[in-house]
């Protein structure tokens, strides 16, 4: 009876997530109710306390979002995007795949999908439309690249998986980067082929959207967003041992270098950094905390134990569940975070029982949830690029759906090897 009651609660939770109620409220309420029904209400509050003081996650996520706000304040992100746009505009046949790759690269430095969609979309969508590309295809190309954040150590899922696996966050990125790049290439090639098949690669015009032709790019400013990532990669790979440091140190150094390069007001820049940290805790870590409470409710009602037992008895479905579960929920709800955090919290610690490593299962779940969100018509980033292009969000999903599905299949094959 308790298991069936838990299943009903999970379905209700999914319903409210699909209806786009605040994910934190839904997960918190669901977790507390399930724990209370199971007779252990304090387990939910204990999970809340444990999740809200997770130092590794707080350091990585908050510092990266603080740096992202500094890039926005100094307008260095705008210089980077315009620099890439200027280069792409000179190679029209490579414009669509170039925009996918360019957006992906920007999303590595600026880990917010919605923020990348707004910043990159404002430049790339008009650029492609001006070249005759269909507005919906232009928006879909940008949206295809909005999962580059998986290669950013500050993406909340990376330190989360690193903590479960007992490794450094850069080890997580080193493990999954081949799958990410493979999926990216598949997505870029397929969406280009679809554009040619639909004859949407040329011949379309639109009024009212123009690039800032007078914008003068400062190459030094454009380099600022990628410096912390470059420092972390060079340090963790051993190429420059002196650069080996944790994520917060790299982000602070990047902010200092941006201050020196742009010579902006240091007080305002500092305020921007801490505003970004606060927003990261509220918007990103808030979901992680709520997911921890939700999982405590699932555990109290015996659902986690039942789910794990079912997978132990049927190990062939584990790899499918790790990818497809977060992928489908990411597509349905428009956010891959809630499903991915819940899966990794509940199942990934037991990965060894299924013949997998925590690193492998956690990476599968993260990629699945991220790609599911990438094709969701109700995701914030989809709505943003569709709005810039002046099309319905479903038109974007129709065009990037197939490329992203095949991108997921390719990525999972690499991770499973």
pTM over 0.75: no
Please report the pLDDT score of residue 209 as a whole number.
Answer: 42
* Cα(136)–Cα(124) distance, integer angstroms: 12
- In the numeric block, the tokens 């919605």 are attached to 114
pLDDT at 208: 46
Q: Are 262 and 80 contacting, i.e. CB atoms less than 8 angstroms apart?
A: no
Residue 11 CB neighbours (<10 A): 9
Q: Which two tokens stand for residue 304?
A: 């986690």
Tens of pLDDT along the chain (417 residues) come to 788 888 888 888 878 877 768 778 888 999 999 999 988 989 999 989 887 876 666 887 788 788 888 988 998 877 877 777 677 667 777 889 999 998 898 888 777 787 778 777 877 887 787 777 899 999 999 999 988 888 888 788 888 889 888 888 888 998 998 999 999 999 999 999 999 999 988 777 655 444 555 678 899 998 898 888 788 778 866 788 888 887 788 889 999 999 999 999 999 999 999 998 998 888 777 877 887 888 788 888 887 677 666 665 666 677 777 778 788 877 876 777 776 887 788 778 888 877 888 899 889 989 998 998 898 887 778 888 888 787 888 889 889 999 999 999 999 999 887
pLDDT at 210: 47
| pLDDT reported for residue 229 | 76
What residues does each domain of the chain span? 2-416
| Model pLDDT, residue 64 | 79
The whole-number pLDDT of residue 214 equals 67
């Amino acid at each position: 009876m308790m298991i069936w009651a838990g299943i009903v609660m999970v379905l209700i939770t999914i319903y409210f997530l699909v209806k786009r109620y605040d994910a934190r409220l839904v997960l918190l309420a669901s977790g507390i109710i399930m724990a209370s029904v199971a007779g252990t209400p304090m387990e939910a509050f204990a999970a809340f306390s444990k999740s809200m003081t997770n130092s590794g996650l707080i350091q990585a996520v908050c510092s990266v979002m603080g740096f992202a706000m500094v890039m926005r304040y100094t307008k260095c992100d705008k210089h980077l995007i315009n620099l890439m746009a200027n280069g792409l505009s000179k190679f029209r046949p490579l414009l669509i795949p170039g925009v996918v790759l360019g957006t992906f690269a920007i999303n590595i430095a600026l880990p917010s999908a919605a923020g990348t969609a707004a910043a990159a979309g404002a430049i790339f969508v008009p650029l492609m439309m001006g070249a005759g590309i269909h507005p919906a295809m232009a928006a879909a190309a940008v949206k295809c690249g909005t999962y580059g954040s998986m290669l950013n150590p500050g993406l909340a899922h990376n330190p989360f998986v690193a903590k479960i696996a007992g490794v450094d966050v850069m080890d997580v990125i080193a493990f999954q980067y081949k799958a990410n790049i493979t999926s990216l290439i598949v997505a870029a090639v397929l969406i280009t082929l679809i554009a040619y098949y639909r004859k949407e690669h040329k011949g379309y015009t639109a009024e009212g959207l123009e690039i800032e032709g007078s914008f003068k790019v400062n190459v030094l400013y454009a380099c600022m967003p990628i410096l912390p990532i470059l420092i972390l990669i060079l340090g963790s790979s051993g190429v420059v041992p002196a650069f080996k440091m944790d994520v917060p140190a790299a982000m602070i150094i990047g902010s200092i270098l941006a201050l020196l390069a742009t010579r902006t007001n240091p007080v305002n820049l500092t305020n921007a950094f801490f505003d970004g940290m606060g927003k990261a805790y509220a918007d990103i870590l808030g979901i992680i905390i709520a997911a921890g409470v939700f999982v405590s409710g699932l555990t109290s009602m015996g659902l986690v134990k039942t789910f794990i037992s079912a997978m132990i008895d049927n190990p062939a479905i584990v790899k499918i569940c790790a990818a497809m579960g977060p992928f489908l929920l990411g597509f349905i709800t428009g956010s891959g975070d809630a499903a991915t955090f819940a899966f990794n919290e509940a199942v990934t610690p037991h990965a060894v029982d299924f013949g997998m490593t925590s690193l492998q299962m956690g990476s599968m779940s993260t990629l699945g949830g991220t790609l599911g969100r990438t094709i969701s018509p109700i995701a914030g980033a989809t709505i943003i690029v569709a709005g810039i292009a002046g099309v319905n969000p479903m038109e974007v999903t129709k065009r990037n759906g197939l490329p992203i599905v095949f991108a997921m299949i390719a990525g999972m094959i690499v991770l499973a090897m």
